[in-house]
Structure 1
Amino acid sequence: MALLRSFATVGGLTAVSRVLGFIRDILIAAGLGSGPVADAFFVAFRFPNLFRRLFAEGAFNAAFVPLFSARLEQEGREAARRFAGDVLSVMLSGLLLFTALCLALMPWIMQLIAPGFTENSEKFALTVELTRIAFPYLLAMVVTALLGGVLNSLYRFAAAAAAPIILNLFFIAALTVALPHFATAPGHVLAWTVTLAGLAQVVFLALCARRAGMSLRLPRPRLTPGVRRLLALMVPGVLSAGVMQINLLIGTMIATLQAGAVSYLYYADRVYQLPLGILGIGIGVVLLPDLSRKLRAGAGEAARDSMNRALEYALLLTLPATFALALVPESLVTGLFQRGAFDDEAARATGQALAAFAIGLPSYVLVKLFQPAFFAREDTRTPFHLTLVSILANVALSLLLFWRIGFVGIALATAISSWLHVVLLVVVLSRRGFLEPDRRLLDRSLRSLLASALMGGLLLVLAPQVNAWLAMGPLGQAAALALLVGSGLAVYALAALLLGAVTLGEVKRLLRRRNPDAVS
């Protein structure tokens, strides 16, 4: 139950962040809709966000956490602290140079990232300018990721999980307080908000690390043996840990060829990222240091049990979200976003993209859980090779389906290629003995699937009944969403308990007990 309580800590704080993120996106949708300024900002935000996920969170965490955990377990806190300081110094030096280079070459980079924008000189110039403003966010996120990795390795998961809340609070403040005074430059307001929020996250996590006794010094950059080992692990990990972001970037590049497509895909992405962030990313954050420390201690059987329980809990919570997003996407999108500049056409198009993305939701979560089994063993090459196959499949499918069914094909290609990725991971993990599903995992997963199907049937019946409410303004939309979400959750919870997908005793123990290491 300690592992589940840690999942709940990270998932709960991530849920707060994602709910605030929804409020942020509702405000953006009302103010910008799916027009040229919105397209320009979303590209500008996604570009540094891609590198954040690849370097700062994806590849960096995949390499840093096992190495830091090993020093912590075998050499003690002071050796681990010195290693973290050496890494931070080298990473900041390299990324300062990288950032300066990107800022100088941004017009040429944007021709590759947003080829469809080159036909509109004003839109292209705005995208370049906004990206330059937001790009320093990457530097802040490198420091944030390192401090978060340190705290997670100490089983102090709450601070790193809470840090993204700061970004959304900054956005909400900017959209409600600053934007009315700078209505002629909404994109610039949001781009500056990104960078300032990144700096605020650094300050917050630095204070949390200091409380945990892990204040980091910044020595002269040196390629120590530990740093060289980290970089060697990071190179293949850049692709393997950031496959979702790479696929989304590929989709964005292709989507720039169709008016409004970038915005439709962005809003759809934001909806399905709620369960993905709470479950896949949250469980993955907890699982990596847990596996790393157990393997270092020689507890192989305990590590395999952690993997099975992580898969069980992930499927228990992911499957109902998949059914809901795939079966009633337009009702959900309308209730969340349709107001102001976000019209009927935008809601319909975004709902179509959401349904396609939702088909792959379980696979996105499973990838986040299977990869730590490699990373914890300091193997980033195998996931890299498997990821490369998935990305190539996504590129081919995106191009093929885009020319046939437009932007919806991009979302569908992302889902199909992600399921291919899962199949490849399962085959390799099973052959190496890293994945051995126990009877409880298989039995409970089937029960979760049946409970989700029952909930899906209810939503199909309810959705046509509440669609009229969605046209009644904010109150009607709120009532429709409350009925759909509340009824769905109630039916799924009851079905899961009756079918045995989860027991009442487990729920009670989770609510009564708390893991002190997980929340400090």
Structure 2
Amino acid sequence: MNSDPSNPAGRENRRVTRAAGVVGAATLLSRVFGYVRDMVVASFFGAGMAADAFIAAFRIPNLLRRLFGEGSLSIAFVPVFTDVMVNGDREEGIRLAISAMKLLFLVLLGVTLVGVVAAPWIIRVVAPGFSHLPEKMALTVTLTRLMFPYVIFIGLVALCMGILNVLGHFAAPAVAPVLLNLAMIGAIAAVSRFSDSETVRVLGLAGGVLLGGALQLALQLPFLVRHGVRFWRRSGLWHPAMRRVGLLMLPTIFGAAVYQINILVGTLLASLLPEGSVSYLYYADRLVQFPLGIFAQAAATAVLPSLSRQAAGGDHAGMGDTFGHAISLVLFITIPAMVGLIVLRYPIVVLLFKRGAFDAWTARLTSDALLYYCLGLWAFSAVRIVVSTFYAMQDTRTPVKTATISIAANILLGMALMGPMKHCGLALATSLASMINLVLLVYVLRQRMGAIRWRRIGVSTLKTLAASAMMAGVAVWVCRAVAPDAGSAGVIRLLVAIGAAIGGGVAVFAAAAWLFKIAEWQKVAGLVKRSLTRS
């Protein structure tokens, strides 16, 4: 995979790597605050009725965010917006961006009104097990209605992200979730000062979600204005290029958000299991989202504008090179993260969540779910890069077909595994379904893009697996040496144990990557060296 900066493909690869680094760093900050938020929520609500109700209710606007925001609209909009900017003129592209913002606002307003009215029926579909518990059902419906307007804010934030990314700005959209986390933490802390009621506190938490959505949107607007997108300008509601966006958008609803749909399926089936099952899956998924958001989503966000530029210019060889670079980079970072989470899953869950209402038994059940989610982390990550490649080529049919098969497989596997394995079976079903989706996507992509050096990707991945295995052995040994019994260890001891295990593991992985001459290690090390030199 050519990374020579003297040719267009090399420059594009360096651009992707730098952008992924910016998004990854901002996302890391967001994830840190996200875990603080989850620690606060776990401490106040544990895995009881209020936690289950909030998580089930929040799944709905979160799914719609993926479908209408980051999923379909953002991915469909970026290639068309890029094409207008590259092959048309900048002013026309700005008009398209303003029209898209106005139209999206009206669409999301309509979706929100329908959602508020239809909340009881939506909850019966999303969490059918709650129907037999009137108090839990009523609380979930109330929370759903309160949080539904969040869809408007976060949908517009996702569109702003697509516009800014094409214009070369990645930091503000990536760091925006920090404001959501701070708003939720502040809301629950403020409400808890005046009430001990679990219901009042969870309603305050839902109010924090709305405040966080508004703050995230407010953060994007100054950067849009700086780049010339003055959204108050008079502009038609409909731009001719929106037709192309619409044609791409409708199929991408399933193709881009298959992971979130599968998670929602897990929530639905988990509502039929013993109380707490929804919460175990939620907290485990939150830990999986850490590497998934920092590495996979960062790379997918960074690579889409580059692939779209190459597709708009007809540079198919360059697309193959950029894709190969992105997929190898993601696997190089995601695989050791996956292995590390698997071997340190219980100490990490205990450290982050075991306090207050979140007891040792809840930590054990959450770490069990985390194991089975982690098995599919490499597939979750790779799918995002492959799907971005198809959408850069404005091919929406293939991801939709494979997503449909994946969702069907998740439902069937979940129903088969939830009996013997309970909530762990649902986590495993999600991982297996994602693997199926990836295999199908790669099979089609191989027919489309013969220029991709699949053998080199495979060799790099095998070397990464070997380095990760060495890392895992060191991490487990160090953690057990410092904290033999993670469940009863104090916070400081556990923090030292996990920190030492991660530090030792990273050192061993880096040494092994250097020894095995993994190309991605050389690229990442070179980028870090150049950044430090500039500093």
What TM-score comes out, normalization by structure 2 length?
A: 0.93
Query: For each residue in 1:245-270, what CA deviation from the matched residue of structure 2 results, as whole angstroms up to 9, or x when unmatched?
Result: 10000000010112100000000001
Alpha-carbon separation, structure 1, partners of 2:129 and 2:113:
25
Matched, 1:127 2:144: no
Confirm or deny: 8 A CA contact 1:280 1:369 kept in the other structure: yes
Per the alignment, residue 244 of structure 1 pairs with 259
Alpha-carbon separation, structure 2, partners of 1:484 and 1:276:
21
Confirm or deny: 8 A CA contact 2:98 2:229 kept in the other structure: no
Per the alignment, residue 126 of structure 2 pairs with 113
Q: CA deviation at 1:222?
A: 4.1
> Any gaps of 5 or more consecutive residues in structure 1?
516-520
- How do 1:282-361 and structure 2 match up within 5 A? 282-361=298-377
Alignment-mate amino acid for residue 190 of structure 1: L
> Any gaps of 5 or more consecutive residues in structure 2?
1-13
Per the alignment, residue 243 of structure 2 pairs with 228
Aligned residue for 2:518, secondary structure, equals coil
Query: For each residue in 1:340-399, what CA deviation from the matched residue of structure 2 results, as whole angstroms up to 9, or x when unmatched?
Result: 111111011001100000000000001000011110011111110111000000010001
Change (3 A) 1:502 1:186: farther
Matched, 1:398 2:411: no
The CA RMSD over aligned residues, in Å, is 1.8
The answer to which of 64-73 and 486-495 deviates more is 486-495
Alpha-carbon separation, structure 1, partners of 2:110 and 2:484:
53
Q: CA deviation at 1:299?
A: 2.2
Per the alignment, residue 80 of structure 2 pairs with 67
Confirm or deny: 8 A CA contact 1:467 1:480 kept in the other structure: no
- How do 1:35-50 and structure 2 match up within 5 A? 35-50=48-63
| Number of equivalences | 515
Change (3 A) 1:503 1:120: closer
Q: CA deviation at 1:218?
A: 6.7
Change (3 A) 1:124 1:221: farther
**Which protein, 1 or 2, shows the higher relative CO under an 8 Å CA cutoff with sep ≥ 6?**
1
Per the alignment, residue 167 of structure 1 pairs with 180
Alpha-carbon separation, structure 2, partners of 1:209 and 1:244:
30
Aligned residue for 2:356, secondary structure, equals coil
The answer to which of 222-231 and 238-247 deviates more is 222-231
Per the alignment, residue 255 of structure 1 pairs with 270
Q: CA deviation at 1:220?
A: 7.1
Alpha-carbon separation, structure 2, partners of 1:218 and 1:349:
53
Aligned residue for 1:468, secondary structure, equals coil
- How do 1:436-451 and structure 2 match up within 5 A? 436-437=452-453, 439-451=455-467
Per the alignment, residue 474 of structure 1 pairs with 491
Confirm or deny: 8 A CA contact 1:279 1:317 kept in the other structure: yes
Alpha-carbon separation, structure 1, partners of 2:392 and 2:383:
14
Alpha-carbon separation, structure 2, partners of 1:256 and 1:438:
42
Alignment-mate amino acid for residue 109 of structure 1: I
Q: CA deviation at 1:331?
A: 2.0
Confirm or deny: 8 A CA contact 2:61 2:147 kept in the other structure: yes
Change (3 A) 1:215 1:513: farther
Alpha-carbon separation, structure 2, partners of 1:14 and 1:388:
29
Per the alignment, residue 380 of structure 2 pairs with 364
Confirm or deny: 8 A CA contact 2:47 2:357 kept in the other structure: yes
| Percent of residue pairs bearing the same amino acid type | 37
Alpha-carbon separation, structure 1, partners of 2:490 and 2:530:
42
Confirm or deny: 8 A CA contact 1:398 1:413 kept in the other structure: yes
Q: Which runs of 4+ in 1 moved over 6 A?
A: none
Confirm or deny: 8 A CA contact 2:22 2:170 kept in the other structure: yes
Change (3 A) 1:175 1:501: farther
Alignment-mate amino acid for residue 273 of structure 1: Q
Per the alignment, residue 94 of structure 1 pairs with 107
Per the alignment, residue 491 of structure 1 pairs with 508
Alpha-carbon separation, structure 2, partners of 1:204 and 1:266:
28
Per the alignment, residue 189 of structure 1 pairs with 204
What TM-score comes out, normalization by structure 1 length?
A: 0.95
Matched, 1:424 2:437: no
